[in-house]
Amino acid sequence: MDTAAWQKSLGWDESAARRSQLITGSVGLVILFIGVVMQWWAGNNISDISLSTFCESYSGEPDVTDSIDWKQMKAAYYNANNPNRQGDLSLAKMANQFFGGDGTVGDVDRAIYNDPSFWCKYLPECPAGATCTENQAGILMLRDVGTAKGNGLWNGRRISQKKHWNLAPGAFSLASTHIRCWDKFTVYREMIDEVMVEQPTSSSASAPKIYVTDPVSGARWNEDSIDTASYAQLFTCYGSKGSTGYILGLGPLLSSMASLFCVVSLFTCCPTSYSSTLGRGLALMAFAFTLIGFWVVSFTSIREFVADYMYCGSSTTPLTNNRGMYFDGTPCLDRNSDGENEMNPFLSWSAWMTGVYTFGGAFNIIATVILLVTIAKTIAGDQLKKFATLTPSDEL
């Protein structure tokens, strides 16, 4: 009896099954490629938003604080406390002087991790009780703090004249893990290098730096210790993002590995049984970690800080005011300080990355299901091949 005819009479058409495998495998790989690219791109950018984007939301200006601002802060400290320029400035003194605007003693951690005015060059508006005037270049600057209360207030601070977005309480601490670590490192490095240097008695730009003495150890700061402290801050920032990046990257990685073994299983020259079984296990793990990634993105983006804002839409008074605030004091996500309907750039970028990652994960799940079907057909085909040489007489 013809073996091919006998196999066909049993409903086993190897050529048709082979074509179906190649088609479903190819479709799954294309969808998986799109999903993995979307997830990798969004996963790398969801926690790597530029500090300039945050500052644009905070004040309307993208500029971050630099050495010029810290020099002005240092001059304001000595003018207020030590006009003869004697004594050292420290991080604690800086925090107490300029980041205790609510009437309490300032705290270094609060200044560094919670306060946007520490990181952004411009203040969003002239504080009530302060005097602000324009310089010859037309830049509005803080000239006299007066009775104003707030953080980051010292003479010479630039005041933004552009529209900005209201921020939720603790906005920077909530969004800090999404901001690019190197941007924060640059600001922190320039700040600590200015604070840990004695106020020069000479106005010459070539005057050598004289670093302050640490009151606890009695040792002087130097260039190496400044670098060490700054890089420690950088590595702390990277460490705070490590677990999130690991989870967000594991799903696409496992999906890519599962697709590799799926491709291998389509070649008859390879040990298809082994590669199919391994590919199926990796695909199931990728499916699970993709779902976990959805939860992590939702928690770190939406629950952490996006939930503290209101989408005001077309709401008008009395639900919203002309300053971009909801009636209960919740800042509007899509309304700036001029009352115009415009999305907060920092939050919209974060929401965009969240959406891209979610859609990429959805593609990965669809592709994983298709690849699992392909692998299942390969395994079933291997089992049927055991009977490829059987004839009716072999069953006797």
Domain ranges of the chain: 3-48+241-391, 51-173
- pLDDT computed for residue 101 by the predictor: 61
At which residue do the structure tokens 């300053």 appear? 323
- Provide the pLDDT for residue 386: 53
Whole-angstrom distance, CA of residue 13 vs CA of residue 18: 9
Burial of 111 (0-12, 13-18, 19+ CB in 10 A): buried
* pLDDT given for residue 61 in this prediction: 93
pLDDT at 220 (0 to 100): 85
CB under 8 Å to 260, separation ≥6 — which residues?
Answer: 279
DSSP letter for each residue of 80-94: HH-TT--S---HHHH
Instruction: List C-alpha distances in Å: 58 to 5, 311, 370.
Output: 76, 18, 46
Written as tens digits, the pLDDT of the chain (396 aa) is 555 555 555 555 556 666 666 777 778 788 888 888 888 888 778 888 899 999 999 999 999 999 899 989 988 888 877 766 666 778 888 888 888 765 566 678 777 777 888 999 999 999 888 999 988 888 899 999 888 888 889 999 999 999 999 888 777 777 788 889 999 999 999 999 888 887 654 444 556 778 888 777 778 888 889 999 899 989 988 888 877 777 787 878 887 777 777 777 666 555 556 666 777 777 778 888 888 888 888 777 776 677 788 888 888 888 888 888 888 888 988 899 888 889 999 888 888 888 888 888 888 888 888 877 777 666 555 555 555 555 555 444
The pLDDT assigned to 52 comes to 93
Q: How many CB atoms are located within 10 Å of the residue 210 CB? A: 13
Q: Are 237 and 189 in contact (CB under 8 A)?
A: no
The residues facing 332 across adjacent strands are 310
The structure tokens listed for 239 are 């460490």
CA distances from 371 to 92, 311, 343, 368, 384 (A): 58, 40, 39, 5, 20
The pLDDT assigned to 14 comes to 56
